[in-house]
Amino acid sequence: MNLILFGPPGAGKGTQAEILINKYNIVQISTGDMLREAQKDETDLGRKVASIMAKGELVTDEIVIGLIEKKLTNDENEIGFIFDGFPRTLAQADALGNLLDSIGQSLDHVVELYVDDEKLVQRIIGRFTCSSCGELYHKITKPPKNEGICDVCGSKDKFNFRQDDNEDSLKIRLLAYYRDTSPLIGYYHVFNKLRKINGLGSVDEIQNKIRNFIKKKAEELKLDFFDLIKQK
C-alpha cells in the first residue's frame, strides 16, 4: 500500500506517519527528514539545502526528486511507502507517479489533513523535540514535567528546536504550501485518490479516521467520470 500524507506544516503528518508505518509495515519517506540528514554532510549540496530550508522556501524539484528516486529504487521490494512532506509541487507529483510505475507499484490513497492557519502557528511556534528519543514537546501545551529533562527517556538538555520553526520562516512555509503544494488537492481529487480529514482532534481520533479510509474500497468512493482518467 502506498499512501501520501498531505497537509500544511504542523498538520500532524509526521506524527500520524509514525503510527501508520508500524501498523502496516510500510516504509516512511519524509523528504524533510532526508533533507535535514543531507545537511549534515559538509558538501555544497548540504549547505545549499540548509540555507533554503532555514528560510522556509522549497528545495528544488531536481534535488528532491533525485533523493526520492534513489530511495525508491533501493527499497523497491518493500510492500509500500508512506510519503510525508512529498510531493510538494505538481512536478514532484508527476515524478512520483512515474517512479512508482517503474517499480511496479501505484498510489492507493492521499490523505489530506486540514488545519486552520492560526492553529498551525500555535502548534509550530514553541515546539521542540528530544534528540535522543524523538518525543515531541511544546513550550505552552506540553512542556516536560522537569525543565530540561525528557519525560520519556530521561535525557538531560537534549532538546532540539528546528531552525525553521520561527515566525518568519513559518510564514514563508505556509505561503509555499498554499502557492505550490495545495494545487495537488485538485490534482489528486481528479485521480479519485483524495480523502479529507480534519486535523484537529486527538492523535488517536485522527489515526482511526485514516485507518477507516484505508479500509474503504476504492469502488465505494468512485464516481463514474473518474473512469475516463487513466490512473497512475
Rounded distance, CA 88 to CA 138, Å? 26
Q: Is 128 in the site for Zn ion (CB under 5 A)?
A: no
Rounded distance, CA 105 to CA 98, Å? 10
Q: Is 133 in the site for Zn ion (CB under 5 A)?
A: yes
Please choose, from the candidates 115, 147, 149, 109, the residue with its C-alpha nearest in 3D space to the C-alpha of residue 132: 149
Nearest approach, Cβ of residue 23 and ligand ADP (Å): 21
Q: What number of other Cβ atoms are within 10 A of residue 181's Cβ?
A: 23
Q: Is 129 in the site for Zn ion (CB under 5 A)?
A: no
Indicate which residue of 71, 123, 127, 193 is catalytic.
Answer: 127
Q: Draw the binding track, 117-156, toward ligand ADP (x: CB under 6 A; -: no contact).
A: ----------------------------------------
Rounded distance, CA 50 to CA 127, Å? 20
133 binds, among ligand ADP, Zn ion, none (CB under 5 to 8 A by kind): Zn ion
Beta-bridged to residue 110, according to DSSP, are 4, 194
Q: Draw the binding track, 165-204, toward ligand ADP (x: CB under 6 A; -: no contact).
A: --------x-------------------------------
In what helix (H) or strand (E) does residue 125 lie, and over which residues does it extend? Answer: none
Indicate which residue of 173, 193, 195, 209 is catalytic.
Answer: 173
Rounded distance, CA 6 to CA 88, Å? 9
Contact call for residues 57 and 176 (beta carbons, < 8 A): yes
Question: For ligand ADP, which residue of 17, 20, 26, 64 counts as binding (CB under 6 A)?
Answer: 64
Give φ, ψ of 140 to 5 degrees: -100, -50
- Residues assigned a catalytic role: 13, 88, 127, 162, 173
Q: Which residues are near ligand ADP by CB under 6 A?
A: 9-10, 31-32, 35, 52-53, 56-59, 64, 85-86, 88, 92, 164, 173
Q: Which residues are near Zn ion by CB under 5 A?
A: 130, 132-133, 135, 150, 152-153, 155
